Amino acid sequence: MQDPSPVREFTAWLIRRGLPQRQNCWLTKCDDGLMMDSGLSCSSCECVIGDRRGLRHVVRADVSARNLPMAEQKRVFEQELRKCAQARAVEEAERQERAAAESVERAEAVQAQREREARAKAAWRQQLCADCGVPQTTGLCAACTRERTTAGFVQEMVWIELALRSTEEAIDIAAEPELTTEAWNYLERCSGDTSALVPMLRAERLYRAARAALDFQRRRAITAYGRTAEAVSEGEYVRRWALPRTSRERAEELALNAQERSARYLMDMRVHEVRRALAARDSKHADQHEQRSWEARLADFDDESRKQAQLELIRS
């Protein structure tokens, strides 16, 4: 019994309270050089004993080399051995002091790091929304997050539509603004009247409508690309391969799956080409804008705006 409660873990009780432990060995299962779980000798204690035995051999050989009388050798041996033990004790004390100082430094460094992380996390939580400016939104509120996700869905819908309308020779990237406007108008019609709703509910309605529209657009594109010669030939190849090896129903299923995978691959490749063409157009427009002189840029303004821009240019 341990106090009023029974001992449930006998080995743990022996290790912690039942048996006296020597502090020289770092192993908790060691008891005077024997492991309590296996009964074998403790390797750590054997190493310590070997070090001490080696020290005694070194000191004895040094004293024996002095050719002293036998009685004098014993006294000198004990004296030298005591000096070595004291030197080792001093080294061990210094090592423990350094270890304690390093432990304190590590603890202080960890505490400082935790404080920095806490301050950074508090500042992150206090950040304003980058889109609408609402405070304490960690940089982006829930409504604006939904709106950004919805904008990404709309952009992907436009890419898929451009991919479906494009040919092998050309991609009609000029239709992107019109398609984007049509997509947003479609989402507004699907969401209904959202003028009386709070921003979060309005963003949620648009998000759900955009997700459903994107799923439909993907299925439409997969169906269209599934009718191409590449996808049909892929399905036929799998069907011919599977018929001798399985049932007709399983072969048809494998063929349809292969045809759908091929259609998805063709759609992804075509969308990638559309995105690359749009990126090249935007890069070209950015280069043209950067290369324009100030006179060419001022020509886009009316007289009053041109005067204001010239004044700003002079002040800068």
Tell me whether residue 148 is in a domain.
yes
C-alpha to C-alpha distance for 254 and 260, rounded to whole angstroms: 10
Does this model's pTM top 0.75? My answer is no
Tell me whether residue 146 is in a domain.
yes
Q: With helix as H, strand as E and coil as C, how does 145-174 read?
A: HHHHHHHHHHHHHHHHHHHHHCCCCCCCHH
**Cα distances (Å, whole numbers) of residue 236 to 205, 258, 311, 314:** 42, 9, 71, 72
Q: Residues 6 or more apart from 230 whose CB is under 8 A from it?
A: 262, 266
Q: Is the pLDDT assigned to residue 73 strictly greater than 80? A: no
User: Of the given ranges (39-43, 48-52, 98-102, 288-292), which has the lowest mean pLDDT?
Assistant: 288-292
C-alpha to C-alpha distance for 220 and 63, rounded to whole angstroms: 97
Tell me whether residue 198 is in a domain.
yes
Q: How many residues does the chain have?
A: 316
**Residue 118: CA atoms inside 13 Å, Cβ hemisphere, count?**
6
Averaged pLDDT score across all residues of the chain: 82
- Mean pLDDT confidence for 186-206: 86
The pLDDT, as a whole number, for residue 2 is 42
Q: Is the pLDDT assigned to residue 189 strictly greater than 80? A: yes
The pLDDT, as a whole number, for residue 1 is 41
Q: How confident is the model at residue 6 (pLDDT cuts 50, 70, 90)?
A: confident
Instruction: Give the total number of structural domains in the chain.
Output: 1
Q: Kindly state the tokens that stand for 296.
A: 């060419």
What Rg, from alpha-carbon coordinates, does the chain have? 41
Tell me whether residue 253 is in a domain.
yes
Among 259, 181, 261, CA closest to 227: 259
The pLDDT, as a whole number, for residue 298 is 57
Q: Is the pLDDT assigned to residue 199 strictly greater than 80? A: yes
Q: Is the pLDDT assigned to residue 130 strictly greater than 90? A: no
Tell me whether residue 252 is in a domain.
yes
The pLDDT, as a whole number, for residue 36 is 76
Q: How confident is the model at residue 49 (pLDDT cuts 50, 70, 90)?
A: confident
- Mean pLDDT confidence for 69-94: 82
The pLDDT, as a whole number, for residue 292 is 59
164: domain range?
Answer: 142-289
Tell me whether residue 301 is in a domain.
no
Higher model confidence: residue 152 or residue 47? Answer: 152
Tell me whether residue 123 is in a domain.
no
DSSP string, 182-237: HHHHHHHHHH---TTS-HHHHHHHHHHHHHHHHHHHHHHHHHHHHTSHHHHHHHHH
C-alpha to C-alpha distance for 60 and 56, rounded to whole angstroms: 6
For residues 225 and 261, the answer to whether their CB atoms sit within 8 Å is no
Strand ranges (E), the chain: 30-31, 34-35
Tell me whether residue 77 is in a domain.
no
The pLDDT, as a whole number, for residue 235 is 92
**Residue 207: CA atoms inside 13 Å, Cβ hemisphere, count?**
14
The pLDDT, as a whole number, for residue 144 is 87
**Whole-number percent of the chain with pLDDT over 90:** 33
| CA–CA–CA angle 164, 168, 170 (5° rounding) | 85
